[in-house]
Structure 1
Amino acid sequence: MAARPHRSGMDVRLRWWAVALPAAAFAALLMLLVSGGDADAATPDERQPVGRLIQHIHDSLMP
């Protein structure tokens, strides 16, 4: 008599959101990459205060 593999009776299935959420995140990141070519760099006068702070720190650390 041949041994039969043990079956636990559990059926493993993915929920709908386990596929939909990564697909939506991928689509959103892809859209950011595709539309990123239209972005313009800000002039120094248009920078936000946080950007100016980061620039100041960068200038202080780099000789």
Structure 2
Amino acid sequence: MPVRSHTRRDPADQAEPAGIEIQLPWWAIALPAIAFASLLLLILNPADAHAASGEPVVSDLLQRVRDLLSIAA
């Protein structure tokens, strides 16, 4: 019984695969776009960056939590 030999295909013929379509979920585009826009706005107006304002928000919050825990104990 004769066996067929496999011939190699020319890579130029396979330049564009047919039938392959990539679909991204909506958040894969929206979240990076929102992050980029918010960072761009912070660069344009750094006065809106409240993390560097010097107000001890986190330390004030931790102090309140300690006070609540000391009252409960």
TM-score, normalization by structure 1 = 0.42
Q: Over alpha carbons, which structure has the higher Rg? A: 2
Structure scoring higher RCO (CA < 8 A, sep ≥ 6) equals: 2
